Amino acid sequence: MQSTSDMIQPIKWQDQQLHLLDQRLLPTQQLWLNYEHASEVSNAIRDMVVRGAPAIGITAAYAVVLAAREAWNKAGVNWKQAMYEPLAKLAASRPTAVNLSWAIEQMTAIYVNLPETYSPEKALLEAATHIHQQDIAANQTMGKLGADLIDPDSMVLTHCNAGALATGGVGTALGVISQGYSDGKIKHVYVDETRPWLQGARLTAWELLQGKIPTTLQADVTAASLMASGKIHWVIVGADRIAANGDVANKIGTYSLAVLAKYHQVKFMVVAPLSTIDWQTETGKQIEIEHRPSREVTHIANQQIAPDGVKVSNPAFDVTPAELINAIVTEAGVVLSPSVTTMKKLHKHN
């Protein structure tokens, strides 16, 4: 497992500013963007400068700090009234990853109890930093719990990016994969390129090569024949929102991998912190699926690949029913055969 000192960190709070690694330019360009205004951070989440459910939550927590600074400077003792608008914009920046609303709720529960008479920035920065550090620790714990489920010399398939670039730490799915590689459990990782935004090709392959983990990149459409070959023992993915019954919303294409895995007796693991579980949503049917701009499908690296005017469908996520999942790994423990009943063991930890 990479130590936290040498892992990739897409989010940094330095010199009273939020610094985000622009993930739209990876892997060929590493550009850091600096933010002092909550509104601009909302745009950065919407535009996927930063992405990945836990990373979005951590970024939102720091955005609340920026919003509080602006509110104090603008409204003084009436700063709390000036928080509503920026936090509403922040909450609306992306609808599916519950970590965004979770982080805003955590920060709101703190700021409403702060005195009006002096700046809330210091107290809120401590809270945001704690959320960030909690995620780093959760990644480490999940890495160990997930790797323990994997037999030696396994080969695994992952989809999208659930690594350091999607979290505060070493990653959720990639945290399990890097721990599993370190433990001699995983000998090779297959990575779906993950059309249309290419998180797998651009981000996951980059992270795994940095970690010197044997990796093969493939087109998404290769997954079925790869599983038919018998080479794959586990599919390991992250999550953006997990319903109370264990249904999982994750990057589009995850559901098809789960169906293929069930057909080919490949085990299916979802790795996500407790902040990704939405106990207020009973099943996956109630999860809002984000639809993103058509250009993400009709262009690759600003190169048009489809005819002008073509009708486009671009849902960013799909829902995998709990019955297709063998294990949900969280920092509070592992749920095998997730269901509304088995998920309850995690609820007491919230």
Binding site, annotated residues: 51-53, 94, 199, 250-251
Annotated binding site for substrate: 51-53, 94, 199, 250-251
Per DSSP, what are the bridge partners of residue 278? 243
CB of 78 to ligand LNRAV4D5, least distance (A): 35
* Amino acid (1-letter code) at residue 185: K
Q: Which stretch binds ligand LNRAV4D5 (CB under 6 A): 2-10, 46-54, 144-152, 220-228?
A: 46-54
Select the span of 69-77, 148-156, 165-173, 296-304 touching ligand LNRAV4D5 (CB under 6 A). 165-173
Rg, C-alpha atoms of the chain: 20
Q: Which of 316, 327, 332, 346 binds ligand LNRAV4D5 (CB under 6 A)?
A: 316
Kind of pairing, strands 303-304 and 299-300?
antiparallel
Amino acid at 80: K
Q: Pick from 132, 241, 251, 267: which binds ligand LNRAV4D5 (CB under 6 A)?
A: 251
Strands 11-14 and 17-21: antiparallel
Shortest gap between Cβ of 193 and ligand LNRAV4D5 (angstroms)? 13
Which position among 135, 192, 220, 240 bears the catalytic label?
240
The candidate with the shortest Cα–Cα distance to 192, out of 170, 209, 212, 215, is 215
* Interaction pattern, residues 229-248, with ligand LNRAV4D5; x per rule: CB under 6 A: --------xx-x--------
Query: Any alpha helices (H) in the chain, and if so which ranges?
Result: 38-46, 53-75, 84-91, 98-111, 121-147, 173-182, 199, 205-210, 223-228, 254-263, 295-298, 344-347
Q: Tell me whether residue 211 or residue 238 sits nearer to ligand LNRAV4D5 (CB atom).
A: 238
DSSP 200: I
Binding track, positions 188-207, relative to ligand LNRAV4D5; x by CB under 6 A: -----------x--------
Is 153 assigned a catalytic role? no
User: Does 52 engage in binding with ligand LNRAV4D5 (CB under 6 A)?
Assistant: yes
Closest CA to 61 of 126, 136, 141: 126
Size of the site for ligand LNRAV4D5 (CB under 6 A): 16
54 binds ligand LNRAV4D5 (CB under 6 A): yes
Q: By C-alpha distance, which of 45, 50, 29, 312 is closest to 196?
A: 312
How many Cβ atoms are within 10 Å of 292's Cβ, its own excluded? Answer: 18
Catalytic residues: 240
Residues near ligand LNRAV4D5 (CB under 6 A) are 51-54, 160, 162, 166-167, 172, 199, 237-238, 240, 250-251, 316
